[in-house]
Amino acid sequence: FVNKIAKPMASKKLTKKLLKLAKKASKDKKANMVFGLKAVQRGLRKDERGIVILAGDVNPIDIMCHIPGVCEQKGLPYVYVPSRQDLGQSIGTLRSI
Separation CA 33–CA 2 (nearest Å): 24
pLDDT of amino acid 97: 67
15: left (phi over 0), alpha (psi -120 to 50) or beta: alpha
pTM score: 0.86
pLDDT of amino acid 18: 93
The tens digit of pLDDT for each residue in 26-83 reads 887 667 788 888 999 999 999 999 999 999 998 888 888 999 999 999 999 999 999 8
Could you give all domains of the chain from N- to C-terminal order, each with its CATH number?
Answer: 12-91 (3.30.1330.30)
Residue in 53, 42, 52 with CA at minimum distance from that of residue 75? 52
DSSP label at residue 36: S
Q: Count the Cβ atoms, other than its own, within 10 Å of residue 53.
A: 24
Q: Does residue 2 surpass a pLDDT of 70?
A: yes
pLDDT of amino acid 67: 93
